[in-house]
Structure 1
Amino acid sequence: NTLGKFGPLFLKAVDLVISGNQDIIDDELHMVYTILGIFIIPTCNKSIETIKNGLNVFKYIPTENMDEIIKKFEDQINEHHDTHLADNTFVADDSHKKKRYTCSTMKIKAKFILYSIFKDEVMNTIIYLGNSAKRVYYASSVGLRGFETIIQDVTAFDLKTTAHFIEMADKLQDTENKLKSGYYGAPLSSFKFLSEFLGKPGCVRPERFKYQCDKRVFDEEYTEELASSSLNYIMTEYINKLNEFKKNLQVETEVVVSPDGIGDTLEKMLNTPFIKFHNKVIDDIAGHTFRYVEKSRVFLMNKVIKILKMTFVVHIIAIIIIVFLFLIYITKQIKHQLHIMDELISVILTVPLSVYNSSSKLKR
């Protein structure tokens, strides 16, 4: 993987998984916004605008005629005014001379926006897991490249080994800093379902790698306390030792041809303090990451099942409510609004023709 054959494919696959899930969730969210923007908000605003236009007619009727009309249709006007006041937001301008009633769809918008909030927790989990998997790849690459960098056998290793080692080390440190800061979705402490891995969770391995816990060999660098700590702490110690190794790195270029020379070179590489530490701690890094994936898979599946159940229940309830609202409330309101419009038309028709002809605004 570190030679540039399968590593880039792995990293691209991780990015594709993250972006694929992001696209699916965003498509669902865009559909909600489309329904909101094209159908619901314009319909609400159009209904209110129609009523407002009917009421605006009264602004241009002379006072003497208005008094007569109000006396005749006082009950109908008051009833409509009370309904209009209850359904809208009262606004006064700075001069306090003019006042108006405006329709507000903010509540409707807020309810639909709340629908999209659930995506944050799900997407944060996916983004964190994807980039956490890269951490294992970069750490493995650092170990292998560091192993090759100690003695650059030009017959076996690339001359650019040291440059590749430094590149992988920098990428690992950058990824680790972003994971801890919450740049990739959220920090580890934000995921409640992973809280058991904070503090000192002990030996963390998936079930198929549990045997590794009994085979660990501790020393002054790789202590039992370190191996039992959280991944954040393990990575902090790992990067500290990596930086120390980079700082004190002494490269020896040799040509190894004899079997004895190969054996001596291999022993020298394996006994390097950082390489010894890496070969032990890499299992802990991978173990934590694999367990995160297992726990997150359960969390995401439960989340999806929960949302599906909620959607099904809400859908059934909404259908029942819509039917009852239409039969009991909406039909009644339609008749009521038709009655109001009939009264408004009657009011308008009672305005004398001379008044209409004298006002260009009233004609419009």
Structure 2
Amino acid sequence: MANTTALVMELLLLHLIMAILLALSIEAQNVAGLDHLESNFLFAFTTSAQGFLWGMFALLFGQIFSEASTTKGMTFGLLGLLYIVRMLTDVINLSIGWFNPLSWSYLAFPYVKGHENWLAVFLTFLLAFLLLGISYILELKRDVGVGYFPERKARLHGKKGHFGFPGLVLNLEKKMIIGWLLASFVLGLVYGSMFGQMDQFISSNKTVKKLFVGNETAASAIRGNFMVTLFSILSILIAAFGVILLTKMVSEERKNRLEALYALPLSRLKVYSTYLLTAILSVILAQFLALFGIFIEQLGNKNALSFLEIMKSGMIWLVAVIFVLAILSLLLGLVPRLAELIWVYLAFLLFMTYLGKLLSLPKWLENLSIYNYIPKLPVEKMNLPTVLFILILSVLLILLGFGAYRRRDLITG
């Protein structure tokens, strides 16, 4: 049990350190409303406790399944399912969220004076250690390197569609791609239901009604800013999908699988372009399905948006997603061992989208986010020169990445 115990200790220590640093960094901002030390620590520990909890979910699935890809898929699948359930309980009844571990992060009510609840943090750690105990029991009863569900037997003969490198990549990643596409569409349906809640909020809240009823411009501004926030967060989630797909190239390389393929008449251009185009086309389709789900769900609303309005306001964020993939492609070509740093940038984008304006961060820090340069439709006007510049820069980064990839050695281990 030494390896598992060491991993758990490392994960726990990492999240405790992150919680302390997060709390102190928020406190150091000295922003009105965020200057209560206990609330800052409560918020930080609810966040870190969730990170540790999902590490334990992954550990549990790692005992059940023999393949790392299946373990990741099940963990992210459960995370996505509970995320959708959380959205529904937020709309229907907030108290039902106590049955959903993912909801505990906000049911602690940090920054709600007099309602701070450390029970949510306690429950999160309690469930995490319960999962750890189950994982220990399962690990003791299984053989090394196998899971409780055996690997499925392979076909004796491959399908015609599997021949060629693009067919191989699609066959290997098809389950994950289909899963993400379905999740994107369902997420769009859930987000679409929020448009009705926004209209209800504007009409039912006395203060807001007094300010905005009869002022269609102001009400539209609220909806417009809501759309900007919604679509930007949605695109970050879909960017994570593209990153997972594109990093498969380097993970296959580390497992010495590409080395065998390069013994065949297979060019590096084909490998590089296959993984890159698979990622780009997949995120475009995922974003479209998510927006289509939003369009369908909000059709019954009084102020329903047209298909064109939603697509124009939502698809523009793909420019930022492609830029993120371009940065990753450059890392894969130049320093493949540091490719995981792209997750740091994605986390930064999410942080800036959620809390950037609230914390009044320095302008230079805002400028590091590619999302700062994307036209915020429909609140802002389309800025075609900026969009074209980002796309051209993305193409240059991709070409530089390929040039470096063509010249470097394959990595192993």
Q: TM exceeds 0.5?
A: no
In the superposition, the TM-score normalised over structure 1's length comes to: 0.30
Greater relative contact order (CA < 8 Å, ≥ 6 in sequence):
1
Q: Looking at CA atoms only, which structure, 1 or 2, has the larger radius of gyration?
A: 1
